[in-house]
Amino acid sequence: MTAPNISPTVDLGKFNSVVFADRLINWYVANRRPMRWHGADAYSVWVSEIMLQQTQAATVTEYYDRFMHSFPTVHALAAASQEVVLAHWSGLGYYARARNLHEAAKIVVARHGGNVPNSLNELLNLPGIGRYTAGAILSIAYNQPVPLVDANVARVISRLFTLNELPTSREGNKNLWAITSHLVPLQHPGLFNQGLMELGATVCTPTAPDCNKCPVTSLCGAHATVDPSQWPTKTARKKFVQQIHCSVVVRQPDGGVYLVRRPSRGRWGGLWEFPRVECKQDETPCEAAERAARQLLNVPITDVTMVTAVKHTVTHHNITLYCCTAQALEVPVTGEGIHLVSVESLPDYPLAAPQVLLRNQILCPAKFEIQQALTL
């Protein structure tokens, strides 16, 4: 699984790549934001890069610290159960990342003695590792001149060479990888790649690039135009689908509540949640709560009260999640997919971010009582 060697569509012979690399690296060393994973080993780089996919660095820091404290080595991660790994990922989103990272760690231990591979082909054969993550590991941890392209790098390169191709198109993506392959230097490739990403994240931003702070403006094609932000070529925005869901916190007289486990694959795969359904047309949240209890717990409920609502977005779906509380009229059959959980032990279960918000309200009784005044 070797990355193809493709010639770029721009004439790089006229571009001073040595000056570009020197300026970028010097700027990065002097201006980079302090991150926990700077100067880390291959495993730490791997974990941080997986977490940083689809997630801002400021959000990742807390999760990274907790994750590395519990799983400081590949061996520790491989030995953990998936449920424990997901619990540490709870709230970070895109949970397939955690499942793939866990599975890949087990492969690294079984096939590589716990040493993160230092070859492109071996890395690309691990679950959840694509060319970007492999490039980050090889360049940052192993000092190999391997390129990487993420959204920030794509934006910088598109403006640098005023590329008119759509970065997400097949040809546009190939061209970006070809250009970065030619630009990455033999010396300090990790600093170079991190500098490209940092420049895009902090200076060459999507809508308001701060060209006065950019170390390579004299080399940038977009800087010479009226509006540098017109690059890269924009994609048509996808329309968001509006959905209404309802979760029900079903209580037992002893104070316990019920959680159900989602299927291992798909959205929020393998996570636990308060029984939840998508509301039907003309169905109130309280009616949906009763249906959720019947379908997922197989019990009738009483004293159904709507207490709060949470709005969140998942892959082009804008979801309003209502939450109701209720009392069970019967005792559900618990087992692998249904657990009766004490309020105190709720934090031990991996929940998706919106379910974490509901959980936190249950753990804060005063706030929860205030929310009970909410009505449709």
For residues 271 and 225, state if they share a domain. no
Q: Peptide bond preceding 232: is omega within 30 degrees of 0, i.e. cis? A: yes
Tally of domains in the chain:
2
CA distance 355 to 350: 9
Q: Answer yes or no: is pLDDT of 3 > 70.
A: no
CA distance 109 to 81: 15
Checking phi first, is residue 318 left (phi over 0); if not, alpha (psi -120 to 50) or beta?
A: beta
Residue 1 counted as domain residue: no
pTM of the model: 0.80
For residues 296 and 169, state if they share a domain. no
For the segment 219-250, what is each residue's pLDDT rounded down to a tens digit?
A: 999 999 999 999 998 877 778 899 999 999 99
Residue 256: both structure tokens together: 């316990």
Note down the domain range covering 151.
12-230
Q: Show which of 230, 257, 277 is a domain's final residue.
A: 230
For residues 320 and 177, state if they share a domain. no
For residues 43 and 137, state if they share a domain. yes
- Mean pLDDT over 191-201 rounds to 97
- Mean pLDDT over 50-74 rounds to 93
What is the CA 142 to chain-centroid distance, rounded?
24
- Mean pLDDT over 71-96 rounds to 93
For residues 55 and 178, state if they share a domain. yes
For residues 101 and 246, state if they share a domain. no
Q: Answer yes or no: is pLDDT of 15 > 70.
A: yes
Residue 120 counted as domain residue: yes
> Could you give the 3-state DSSP secondary structure of residue 13?
helix
> Can you give the CATH number for the domain in which 99 is found?
1.10.340.30
Tell me which amino acid residue 332 is. Answer: P
Q: Show which of 199, 230, 261 is a domain's final residue.
A: 230
CA distance 272 to 290: 19
332 in Cβ contact with 301 (< 8 Å): no
> Could you give the 3-state DSSP secondary structure of residue 259?
strand
For residues 211 and 336, state if they share a domain. no
Q: What is the predicted pLDDT for the residue at 374?
A: 35
For the segment 133-152, what is each residue's pLDDT rounded down to a tens digit?
A: 999 999 999 999 999 999 99
Q: What is the predicted pLDDT for the residue at 364?
A: 64
> Can you give the CATH number for the domain in which 307 is found?
3.90.79.10
Q: Answer yes or no: is pLDDT of 79 > 60.
A: yes
Residues belonging to the active site = 49
Q: Show which of 230, 256, 276 is a domain's final residue.
A: 230
For residues 209 and 357, state if they share a domain. no
Q: What is the predicted pLDDT for the residue at 371?
A: 39
- Mean pLDDT over 358-373 rounds to 57
For residues 367 and 316, state if they share a domain. yes
Q: Answer yes or no: is pLDDT of 343 > 90.
A: no
Residue 89: both structure tokens together: 């990922």
Side-chain half-sphere exposure of 374, counting CA atoms within 13 A: 18
For residues 331 and 213, state if they share a domain. no
Q: How confident is the model at residue 9 (pLDDT cuts 50, 70, 90)?
A: confident
